[in-house]
Structure 1
Amino acid sequence: MSAADLPTLPSHPSRPSGGAPGATGEVLSVLRSLPRSDQRRWGELYVRGLLAVREKKTMRALAQGAGSGVEQSLYQFISKSPWNDGPVRGDLARLLDERARPRAWVVQPLVIPKVGRHSVGVGRQWVSQAGRLVNCQKAASVWLAWDEASCPVDWQLALPECWTDREDLRRRASIPADVGPRPPEQCGLDSVRGMSQEWGLRGGPVVMDLRETAPQPVCADLVAGRIPFVVRVHPSSVALAPPGPPTGPAGLLSTLHGCRMPVEWFDHVTGTTRATAVGAARVTLCGGAARPEPPEPLDLLLLAAWAAPGARSPSEFWLSNLARSRLGSVYRTAMLRRRVERDLAEAGDDLGMRDFEGRSYRGWHHHMTMVSLAHAATALSPRAGPVTSRRAAAGRGGSGCRVTGTSVV
């Protein structure tokens, strides 16, 4: 089939496109970085399929009604064709940065349950939110978030050692030689670093959840890269020292309690304006990294938030290097993670985020790049209201559990 004979996907009779024609066309323009015209046409066909097809986004479903041979050609484009997804993602991020003026880069972990063991990166892995081992893929994405919407622009697949240590699996999935085992938080940090250094985007602020890891190495890397951040931490995972008396954890908590003030913020998950008591204090983050040499202490801002007015202990702790910003602004930036949680829950399944079943490492990244374009088309369009998740509506899930963010329910 020649490039001139490539089909266009017919409109789906039971579902709108998911994005206004102008927004979709604008987003699809980033495919210009693909070197061949047939690749650009297949990319457009794939994205329009993600927007139009209601059921699971298999190659057969995306190609339905587009002519003979299309299913195999889409498979070849996603799983085998050697096009570089980096320029496409970078162009998309710059488009969103210009059009939407995002207020934060939100690092969002993702757990994708699977039935079999053949998809790239699948293994029985511990999922703390489920409290058990889950046969799944783990990934991390970086979302550009603003008040009206959010969109993922970069993806990393967190490969477990059972894949990186076996040459037969690496060869079968065409895993690059320089890709090793990495936890999701390191994947997210690598994405942030690449977005800042390789794509030339102005940094963050980065919003990230580090409650399950030592935050010192991540914070140190962000500080070294001059990237602003607000990261959630578990109080027991770090050694925090206040800059002066009173000293010790009890004294620090007393300081935070004494200076707290109400902060109003919009909760994108519930669609309501909420008020939370937030206190802040300058602290030194010292320790928490398993390195041969002692880590350098970091002077940061610690935020504590009390969810209930009469609560004695804070419900959240955040570390930030935005010491010169207003307290309310820093906390509202952190709460943009709720914007991402909403968009992931509403549109993630509907746009095929968890549907790729291929064995190719390259194919997974290609599919997720197309998912990002489909997300962007909806994010830049007027929102017609909440989207009902396809899997929630149909009551199905590949492993018998539904995943939202990092939670499995």
Structure 2
Amino acid sequence: MSGGLPDLDIWLEPFLAAVGHKKRRLWAPLYLRGLLGPSERKSLQPMAASLGLSGHDQLQHFVASPAWDDAPLWQVLAEQADRLVGGSRAALVIDDTALPKKGSLSVGVERQYCGQLGKRANCQALVSLTLASAEVPVPIGLRLFLPEDWVDDPERCAAAGVPEDEVVARSKGAIALTELDRLTTARVRFGLVLADAGYGASAAFRAGLSERGLTWAVGIPRNQKVYDADVQLVPPGGRKRRPVPDREPEDAEAVLANQSWRRVTWRQGSKGPLAARFAATRIRVGDGAVWANNRHLPGDEVWLVGEWRSSGERKYYLSNLPPRTSLRALAAAIKARWVCEQAHQQLKQELGLGHFEGRFWTGLHRHALMTCIAFAWLQHLRLAGQRPTGSGKNAGLGSGTATIAEPASSAPSYHGAAAHRPDHANPMPALQAQAQTTA
């Protein structure tokens, strides 16, 4: 035990081996202790003060220096996360999180939607990937989204230290797929990919998941065009040469309006059962080639799922889970996405993800990396049945120190799901086994 952080140095050994350089092996654990310590704000000066340092220059050099490559640390984080929660029952949750910022000099800052504030505001947006199982999340990817105004201004990007090969227009979905490929190369195991409508609305994103042989469930807007599953392509009339659908596409909302909605409990929460009304049917998504008036040909057959919440709000989803998947299994898979929001909140509130005050690309990403490593260590402690020093149910590592919330008493799992590996990406027999009736 060292500095009130039990076994941290031992747990960090693979990370320190990847860091290599002697001075970085010294400052990496100190930076983590600053994030995990009692300082209310996790920017450099408060962390240095809490560590008893005479100044913060060395911490700043460690986190901001572009002279060393932190990719090996992201690799070790992926390996440790896989060891903690990876496997056939795990889900990989793709989302994004916003960091409110003042001014216009911080890399990637732009007026855009900020979920933390619930409105458009000056902020940085990070695409996030979180590995989760049994409601235990471990963030393993945080990558800055560059708004169009930044991409169109190479000088501004250069001033903020953005690497030249990153100064390209890329959607959040494209960034997520690149990060997913990195995790695949790292052999991170999961059985399902989840994302909200910000990603699921993109046909290119869904196609990217399917092309990688992945099982997925994603949110969509209510006006997503879909066809009946038995739609047929027929010879065209008039001068048209390409076959056309024998019926018109409809909005997802309209298709499910006539379906039977059933109350489904997907798991037991800490305050009782979590339930809502759901409906589901097999459809073909209108995301093929354009055939007339911006209407698209039918694409793959998938599930269309609707959720009718107690507030009256309705949400819509697509999933390529197998045809015999039960409604309860569909609901449990879709609702497993919420755990990434808990992880984002704890990264910000407990570990200071948004407290970094530097303006540069390297510093932001390295600070994000260190918060993820700190988060993974706390999950390691929790899963090992340990509590940081202190006493009581919510004891931390000292007053004001980071802790990770306990999961709900009964978490959903994907029993028997096939593990995703680079050479082995099968559907989830877990859910097939559960599914005895078609919703």
Q: TM-score range by the shorter chain?
A: 0.7 to 0.9
Q: CA deviation at 1:347?
A: 4.5
| 1:15-94 alignment runs, 5 A limit | 21-22=6-7, 25-27=10-12, 29-64=14-49, 66=51, 71-94=56-79
- Aligned residue for 1:141? 128
Give the match's secondary structure for 1:120. Answer: coil
Give the match's secondary structure for 1:275. Answer: strand
CA shift in 2, pair 1:266/1:23, >3 Å: farther
User: What residue ranges of structure 2 are gaps of 5+ in the alignment?
Assistant: 232-246, 388-392, 401-439
Tell me whether 1:253 sits opposite 2:238 in the alignment: no
Instruction: Return the letter of the residue paired with 2:338.
Output: R
Q: CA deviation at 1:132?
A: 4.9
Answer yes or no: is the 8 Å Cα contact 1:267–1:338 preserved in 2.
no
Supply the distance in 2 between the matched residues of 1:118 and 1:86 (Cα, whole angstroms): 25
- Aligned residue for 1:184? 172
Q: Output one character per residue of 1:212-261: Cα deviation in whole Å (capped at 9) or x when no partner.
A: 7733111111000112111011121x211121389855873256x23x44
Supply the distance in 2 between the matched residues of 1:333 and 1:386 (Cα, whole angstroms): 32
Supply the distance in 2 between the matched residues of 1:82 and 1:202 (Cα, whole angstroms): 32
| 1:155-166 alignment runs, 5 A limit | 155-166=142-153
Q: CA deviation at 1:297?
A: 1.4
CA shift in 2, pair 1:374/1:212, >3 Å: closer
Supply the distance in 2 between the matched residues of 1:203 and 1:144 (Cα, whole angstroms): 8
- Aligned residue for 2:423? none
Supply the distance in 1 between the matched residues of 2:27 and 2:181 (Cα, whole angstroms): 30
Give the match's secondary structure for 1:117. Answer: coil
CA shift in 2, pair 1:347/1:271, >3 Å: farther
TM-score (normalizing by structure 1): 0.78
CA shift in 2, pair 1:334/1:172, >3 Å: same
Q: Output one character per residue of 1:336-357: Cα deviation in whole Å (capped at 9) or x when no partner.
A: 2222222332452220110111
In the alignment, which of 297, 300, 303 is matched to residue 301 of structure 1? 303
Give the match's secondary structure for 2:353. Answer: coil
- Aligned residue for 2:410? none
Q: CA deviation at 1:333?
A: 2.3
- Aligned residue for 2:243? none
Supply the distance in 2 between the matched residues of 1:155 and 1:131 (Cα, whole angstroms): 20
Answer yes or no: is the 8 Å Cα contact 1:156–1:187 preserved in 2.
yes
Q: CA deviation at 1:86?
A: 2.4
Counting aligned pairs with the same residue, the percent is 25
Q: Output one character per residue of 1:158-183: Cα deviation in whole Å (capped at 9) or x when no partner.
A: 11122222232222222111112334
Rg larger in structure: 2
TM-score (normalizing by structure 2): 0.73
- Aligned residue for 1:107? 94
CA shift in 2, pair 1:28/1:360, >3 Å: farther
Q: Output one character per residue of 1:84-119: Cα deviation in whole Å (capped at 9) or x when no partner.
A: 232212222222222223621111211111122221
Supply the distance in 2 between the matched residues of 1:73 and 1:61 (Cα, whole angstroms): 14
Supply the distance in 2 between the matched residues of 1:380 and 1:289 (Cα, whole angstroms): 47
Supply the distance in 2 between the matched residues of 1:130 and 1:273 (Cα, whole angstroms): 29
Supply the distance in 2 between the matched residues of 1:144 and 1:286 (Cα, whole angstroms): 30
Answer yes or no: is the 8 Å Cα contact 2:37–2:50 preserved in 1.
no
CA shift in 2, pair 1:87/1:204, >3 Å: farther
- Aligned residue for 2:322? 323
Q: CA deviation at 1:74?
A: 1.2
Q: CA deviation at 1:130?
A: 5.7
Tell me whether 1:264 sits opposite 2:265 in the alignment: yes
Q: How many residues align?
A: 367
Answer yes or no: is the 8 Å Cα contact 1:214–1:289 preserved in 2.
no
- Aligned residue for 1:240? 226
- Aligned residue for 2:366? 366
Q: CA deviation at 1:202?
A: 3.2
CA shift in 2, pair 1:267/1:88, >3 Å: farther
Supply the distance in 2 between the matched residues of 1:334 and 1:201 (Cα, whole angstroms): 21
User: What residue ranges of structure 1 are gaps of 5+ in the alignment?
Assistant: 1-7, 12-16, 391-409
CA shift in 2, pair 1:68/1:99, >3 Å: closer
